[in-house]
Amino acid sequence: METKVKNTKNINKKPVSDGWNTFANWLIDVSKYLMTGILLSSVFKDIDNKILFYIISFGLSIIILISGIIIKNNKKEE
């Protein structure tokens, strides 16, 4: 039984993305990390103004997420 060996040089290489796509992915990741940080800090630390803290942090996270999605969708149409 013969086994064929394929050329494996370019299997793990990703296509090069433009700077805007990379920036959009970064914004989406920052939004996820911010949400995680909010949840973990509320569990481990007693915060005086929890409602204000949640509103500001979730609002900021949503704004970052939406801007990343908008940038990503605008660059796909071009």
**DSSP helix/strand/coil, 8:** coil
pLDDT at position 49 is 81
| Sign (positive or negative) of CA dihedral 38, 36, 70, 20 | positive
The string over 3-23, giving b where at least 16 C-beta atoms fall within 10 Å of a residue's C-beta and e elsewhere, is eeeeeeeeeeeeeeeeeeeeb
By residue count, the chain amounts to: 78
Chunked in runs of 10, what are the mean pLDDT values of the chain (78 residues)? 58 60 91 89 80 88 92 68
pLDDT at position 38 is 85
pTM value is: 0.65
